Amino acid sequence: MDGLLHLDAGDRERLSGEKGEAAAIAMRFVVLLAEAVGAERLIDVTRAHIDGCLYQGRAGLEFAERLAAAGAQVGVPTTLNVGSLDLLHPGLYRGDAETARDARSLMDAYVAMGCRPTWTCAPYQLEDPPAFGEQIAWGESNAIVYANSVLGARTERYGDFIDICAAITGRVPAYGLHLTENRGADVVVDVSRIPPPLRDRDVFFPLLGYVIGRRVPSGVPLVVGVDRATPDQLKALGAGAASSGGIGLFHVAGITPESSLPDFGRGPEPSLPPIAVTVQMLRDARDQLTTGRTGAALGAVALGTPHASAAELRRLAALFDERRVADGVDCYVSSGRDMLTSELRAVDELERAGVRIVADTCTYVTPIIGRVDGVVMTDSAKWAYYAPANIGVRVVFGSTEDCVASAVAGEVVRDEEVWGG
């Protein structure tokens, strides 16, 4: 302790072991983080979301089991991110048995600590999402940026180990995006040059996010020139920006909640030069996310990253419109188990179309797709960004409409008219 960090009586009780071994371990991690970031105090959080339940190796399992064995219980309502297994559809897993056992043990350890087995990367789609201004401790990059940006809740980027420690103690350092003074925009991203037909399309948003993440690796961008956006479009924007960069918060003028506050924009001028987004920049982003040849054979289609919402499941069912996935192509849609339960009709229509439903995990982190002869098509900037390195596939990025048309045709289909081609 360097004397700069103030701990209250409850913090000191946890740290000393008066609240048990698990609370002491967790508190030590929280204090070490606070000292590392120069925080002067800790604050309460009302909920947590755990990213550490995704199996990345023995260290994560041993840490969780150590906490569970010490009697750890979360002190605030806590949801769980995707694991490495689809517990609803175990037959989809193509990995080795030892990894599956360890992955299941990790998932079980977090449930034993009182976490809610939601197994979704999109906890903001569950009932009772965080409220505006609510202090929370969330892991998972797309969930963090969505909570901060679209909901106006407040969280920093909590990764493995520290996420569960925050959940156990209910305390985090008062720093970063938890504080009002750090939530103002420091760069303007102007999309007014993008023609409205493209600016209104779903495919615009993940590519805009990718461009923002590449051009503004950190900081808080303010997007101007967007007339309207759905929650799912904002979700795609944030996921793209958090994947290609380190964005934890963005504002969209007149749309996201903090951009509409009376005093928004009255702080310091943006510190970075403005970025004027062009159609060519979006085309370049699409091409950078495409690691396979568009003329190559189509092996699979991967949708639902981040997890498909209820509205997205219904839209996908409508896009298939009683058509079927072509022979020789595997089409996967990932979603949270809560969404699958609430959208039984859409799920049934998708399954009748030959779509494979994935829950509890995601196809870019878990060996579900397996060996693919050809490319995998996706509408997700996040999936396209991570899948080549994670599961060794070649990717073609396209719109959701392109992906469905490709799955039905059995070959890559992309609408070039959207891009002026």
- Could you read off the pLDDT of 357-404 as tens digits, one per residue? 999 999 999 999 988 889 999 999 999 999 999 999 999 999 999 999
User: Cα separation of 235 and 231, whole Å?
Assistant: 6
Domain that holds residue 91: 9-180
In a domain? residue 419: no
Exposed/middle/buried for residue 200 (C-beta within 10 Å: 0-12, 13-18, 19+): middle
Span of 22-36, 40-54, 258-272 with lowest mean pLDDT: 258-272
| Strand 48-50, strand 137-138: pairing | parallel
CATH number at residue 130: 3.30.499.10
- How confident is the prediction for the chain on average, in pLDDT? 95
Cross-strand pairs, 223: 189, 252
Residue range 240-251: average pLDDT? 97
Which of 287, 313, 329 is the last residue before a domain boundary? 287
Tell whether 174 and 88 lie within a shared domain: yes
Tell whether 276 and 307 lie within a shared domain: no
In a domain? residue 34: yes
**pLDDT tens-digit readout, 149-198:** 999 999 999 999 999 999 999 999 999 999 999 999 999 999 999 999 99
Cross-strand pairs, 197: none
Tell whether 139 and 22 lie within a shared domain: yes
Tell whether 73 and 171 lie within a shared domain: yes
Q: Is the pLDDT of residue 265 over 50?
A: yes
In a domain? residue 421: no
Tell whether 150 and 221 lie within a shared domain: no
Tell whether 136 and 234 lie within a shared domain: no
In a domain? residue 3: no
In a domain? residue 62: yes
Tell whether 167 and 46 lie within a shared domain: yes
Tell whether 176 and 262 lie within a shared domain: no
The pLDDT of residue 268 is: 66
Which of 253, 287, 321 is the last residue before a domain boundary? 287
The pLDDT of residue 381 is: 98
Nearest CA among 355, 165, 153, 155 for reference residue 258: 153
Contact 210, 381 (CB under 8 A): yes
**pLDDT tens-digit readout, 327-342:** 999 999 999 999 999 9
The pLDDT of residue 273 is: 86
User: Cα separation of 129 and 118, whole Å?
Assistant: 13
Tell whether 407 and 367 lie within a shared domain: yes
In a domain? residue 46: yes
Q: Is the pLDDT of residue 3 over 90?
A: no
* pTM of the predicted structure, to 2 decimals: 0.96
**pLDDT tens-digit readout, 191-221:** 999 999 999 999 999 999 999 999 998 899 9
Tell whether 53 and 155 lie within a shared domain: yes
φ, ψ for residue 300, nearest 5 deg: -160, 165
Q: Is the pLDDT of residue 288 over 70?
A: yes
In a domain? residue 190: yes
The pLDDT of residue 383 is: 98
The pLDDT of residue 163 is: 98
Which of 287, 314, 332 is the last residue before a domain boundary? 287
Tell whether 173 and 206 lie within a shared domain: no
In a domain? residue 130: yes
Structure tokens at 283: 């085309």
Tell whether 297 and 404 lie within a shared domain: yes
**Total domains present in the chain:** 3
The pLDDT of residue 1 is: 41
Residue 129 amino acid letter: P
